[in-house]
Amino acid sequence: MKKLVIAFLIGIEALAVVAAMDPLDMRWTFGAHEPITMYRRKGVKTTGGIEGSSKWTDEWLNWFDTESPKLMKELGLNWCHARFYKGMGWEFEKKDYPNVRRFVDAAHANGVHVLAYIQFMTLYYENMLAEIPELATWAAKDYEGRFRCYHGNSYYRWLPCISCDEWVDYLIPIMKFAVTEGGFDGVMFDNATSKICYCERCKRKFREHLAKLPDLEQRFGFTDMRFVQPPPESVLKGEIKDALAQELIFWRSRMISDIFAKFHRELKKANPNAILSANVFEPRCADRMRTECVDIPQMIANLDFMVAQSGNYPEYDAANDRLRTRFRLLKTLRTLGMPNVALCDNDSNMTPEQEKYYLLPLLEDVLLGGVPTDRTVVSPGADCFYDKHKLERRRPLLGLFNTFVRNERGMLASRPYEPVKLLFPVQSTILSDRCHRGLGVAEEICLRRHVPFGYIISNPDALIIPEDTEVLVVSDQTCLSEAQCDSLVTWAKKGGKLVVTGDSGRCDELNRQYQTNPLKPRLAGLANVVWRDASDTFSGRFSISWAHNISAPSDNGDRLVADLAKVGFRMPYELRNVPPWVLTEVKRTQDGYAVNCLNFNPSTPLPEIEVLAPGRVVRKPTAIEEDTASRSLYRLFDVVGQ
């Protein structure tokens, strides 16, 4: 009993720390998160644009450890991750610890919280073999049995094998040291994903996993799993119907999630206030979900905070009518209740045009619950330790931004207005490109047509429809479990408005055809349901990856918008003159609706947007103060009246 009470108290305390991480109060920045060995080994430009081989790198690091936190404080930046363990072996890396500690102390003295950077995806064998002679048995192998290496030219970085318990257990005391003697506020595992390993241990464990599954004969056609080989990566794409391939994905995602559950337990034992975070890149990327163990709901269960790094700097490519945004990602993580920093900037490579609209990603973050990021502190030049010109250009903009957040805090903290829900059955989007695209096209239509949307994120066991759902859209979700179909039918029969497109419900949650679709015939004849056999499509490419490559919907989304009207969906206001490259985020405020308009094509000035709301009052739009650059970025319309 006593143990239980203690566990409960620890839980409450840890929750309190996490609750204090309010994105509206947080401003993320970068510590120097690589050790000098990493810069030297790489030689070329790396994090923050630092020339690894330059003669001043160590001097810069020295400055960073002592002086940079003052600059962070001056700019109002109050959270960062900083170097601690890069995967070179603790015996090697602990020599740098006094410098690391100097930074942590300086950061805390300036009100900056610091997470310890721990590399999840690397074994630097050149440094680590001296400490761990059996290191080769910790490393991952590719399908041909060769060592797997980190991407790019990093032949000196082996990837670890996630089924190696010795490696997992090796990281735990390092992590614990960070949040006890190390003085860090938490840890951030970078690259918390894993490419498929084909080592003998993984093969054995995979076969053992398969042997324990039910219905082997029915599912695989045979029951003796002793001679099975894990399928090659090449089959993990498109429509994944190979049951072995499916199980490889599930088994590996579960394994990484178990590792993080263990990290979470051990971290809180060492320091209940410490924060566990991890960088899972763009968790909506289908390839990563399939081959790198990214299963968002599973990962989230073990994290206090998420870093989601991608190359999706907000922009509109007019020549190709292509919008690049983190709205999908930020809305998904908000739905899951996961505080996050969704990194998209790469300070060393920002174009002059991007630099001109420096506030754009910060606004995108703050409107959708992400933590705004600024990397000015990590942008050194050869003649100075930070880029003074950049700093002077950004300082007033950051000031404008902070004033905006302060003035509009009530609005920004209000709940989002998301009456249209898109069904997001995570497992289906992993096993089926068609489901992945189906969700993607509905999102793209809602974004471009300014339909206020959110998600219902569902696993095959359960589909819970939240109370604020006015219309539920099932966009070509071919793979749905019977339980998911039952929930949809029950909801529709009670009068819930439903738009279903394409071949939804044709297959079960494992992409196996039903004899009879458990959805379509049961929804027939209901006046509150529109079923359209033709699915919505893209006019060109659709790729959610490091950088999204998403073309416009082929009919501009007209059919889906018409279907929403057919089931009786009406917005409480009407927007006129809002081009597709201006995205809207609407909040449900105390006295009505706050319509935030963000211009993804700011080199084209915002048109004169009109908001009409008969019976309600629309207040004169506000921009972010009277600054020329930011005036083309953003408008806020208050629609007053319930």
Query: Of 205 and 262, which has the nearer Cβ to Zn ion?
Result: 205
Query: Of 208 and 558, which has the nearer Cβ to Zn ion?
Result: 208
Q: How many helices (H) and strands (E) would you count in the chain?
A: 23, 25
Residue 407 has which token pair? Answer: 């003035």
Query: Of 258 and 555, which has the nearer Cβ to Zn ion?
Result: 258
The distance of closest approach from Cβ of residue 131 to Zn ion in the complex, given in angstroms and rounded to an integer, is 21
The distance of closest approach from Cβ of residue 202 to Zn ion in the complex, given in angstroms and rounded to an integer, is 3
Query: Of 81 and 148, which has the nearer Cβ to Zn ion?
Result: 148
The distance of closest approach from Cβ of residue 167 to Zn ion in the complex, given in angstroms and rounded to an integer, is 10
CB 547 within 8 A of CB 312: yes
The distance of closest approach from Cβ of residue 34 to Zn ion in the complex, given in angstroms and rounded to an integer, is 27
32, 112, 161, 510: which one binds Zn ion (CB under 5 A): 161
Nearest CA to 17 out of 207, 268, 266, 257 is that of: 268
Stretch that binds Zn ion, among 44-52, 79-87, 200-208, 470-478 (CB under 5 A): 200-208
Query: Of 163 and 373, which has the nearer Cβ to Zn ion?
Result: 163
Residue 426 has which token pair? Answer: 């995570």
In the chain, the N- to C-terminal Cα span, in Å, equals: 50
Nearest CA to 311 out of 333, 329, 296, 297 is that of: 329
Cα 538 to Cα 442: distance, rounded to the nearest angstrom = 10
Cα 357 to Cα 347: distance, rounded to the nearest angstrom = 13
Query: Of 162 and 583, which has the nearer Cβ to Zn ion?
Result: 162
Query: Of 210 and 371, which has the nearer Cβ to Zn ion?
Result: 210
The distance of closest approach from Cβ of residue 297 to Zn ion in the complex, given in angstroms and rounded to an integer, is 25
From the number of C-beta atoms within 10 Å of its C-beta (0-12, 13-18, 19+), residue 196 rates as: buried
Place of tokens 């992945």: 436
DSSP H/E element including 65: helix 57-75
Stretch that binds Zn ion, among 153-161, 229-237, 581-589, 615-623 (CB under 5 A): 153-161
Cα 439 to Cα 425: distance, rounded to the nearest angstrom = 9
Cα 191 to Cα 81: distance, rounded to the nearest angstrom = 14
HEC sequence for 608-630: CCEEECCCCEECCCECCCCCHHH
Query: Of 178 and 199, which has the nearer Cβ to Zn ion?
Result: 199
Q: Under rule CB under 5 A, which residues in 168-197 are in contact with Zn ion? A: 197
Stretch that binds Zn ion, among 113-121, 159-167, 331-339, 556-564 (CB under 5 A): 159-167
202, 249, 529, 594: which one binds Zn ion (CB under 5 A): 202
Q: What is the pattern of x (binds Zn ion, CB under 5 A) and - over residues 401-420?
A: --------------------
Q: Under rule CB under 5 A, which residues in 532-591 are in contact with Zn ion? A: none
Stretch that binds Zn ion, among 55-63, 198-206, 318-326, 401-409 (CB under 5 A): 198-206
CB 120 within 8 A of CB 157: no
Residue 122 has which token pair? Answer: 């690397």
Query: Of 10 and 136, which has the nearer Cβ to Zn ion?
Result: 136
Strand order of the β-sheet with 275-279 is 28-30, 79-85, 113-119, 186-190, 275-279, 305-307, 340-341
The distance of closest approach from Cβ of residue 528 to Zn ion in the complex, given in angstroms and rounded to an integer, is 51
The distance of closest approach from Cβ of residue 152 to Zn ion in the complex, given in angstroms and rounded to an integer, is 22
Cα 158 to Cα 235: distance, rounded to the nearest angstrom = 24
Query: Of 292 and 387, which has the nearer Cβ to Zn ion?
Result: 292
Q: What is the pattern of x (binds Zn ion, CB under 5 A) and - over residues 7-46?
A: ----------------------------------------
Q: What is the DSSP letter of 368?
A: T
* Interaction of residue 259 with Zn ion, rule CB under 5 A: no
* Interaction of residue 463 with Zn ion, rule CB under 5 A: no
Stretch that binds Zn ion, among 80-88, 162-170, 179-187, 425-433 (CB under 5 A): 162-170
**CA 361 to the chain's CA centroid:** 15
14, 149, 187, 199: which one binds Zn ion (CB under 5 A): 199
**CA 320 to the chain's CA centroid:** 25
* Interaction of residue 471 with Zn ion, rule CB under 5 A: no
The distance of closest approach from Cβ of residue 162 to Zn ion in the complex, given in angstroms and rounded to an integer, is 7
Query: Of 199 and 586, which has the nearer Cβ to Zn ion?
Result: 199
Query: Of 225 and 613, which has the nearer Cβ to Zn ion?
Result: 225
- Secondary structure class of 476 (helix, strand, coil): coil
* CA-atom Rg of the chain in angstroms: 25
The distance of closest approach from Cβ of residue 457 to Zn ion in the complex, given in angstroms and rounded to an integer, is 30
Q: Position 463: which residue type?
A: L
* Interaction of residue 255 with Zn ion, rule CB under 5 A: no
Q: Binders of Zn ion: how many residues, by CB under 5 A?
A: 5
CB 360 within 8 A of CB 350: no
Stretch that binds Zn ion, among 48-56, 156-164, 215-223, 503-511 (CB under 5 A): 156-164
From the number of C-beta atoms within 10 Å of its C-beta (0-12, 13-18, 19+), residue 605 rates as: exposed
- Burial letters for 572-601: b for 16+ Cβ neighbours within 10 Å, e otherwise? bbebeebebbbbbbbbbbeebbbbbbbbbb
Query: Of 140 and 267, which has the nearer Cβ to Zn ion?
Result: 140
- Supply φ then ψ for residue 353, to 5 degrees: -65, -45
The distance of closest approach from Cβ of residue 197 to Zn ion in the complex, given in angstroms and rounded to an integer, is 3
Query: Of 230 and 452, which has the nearer Cβ to Zn ion?
Result: 230
The distance of closest approach from Cβ of residue 138 to Zn ion in the complex, given in angstroms and rounded to an integer, is 9
* Interaction of residue 256 with Zn ion, rule CB under 5 A: no
Instruction: Give strand ranges (E) for 325-452.
Output: 340-341, 415-416, 420-425
Tell me which residues touch Zn ion (CB under 5 A). 161, 163, 197, 199, 202
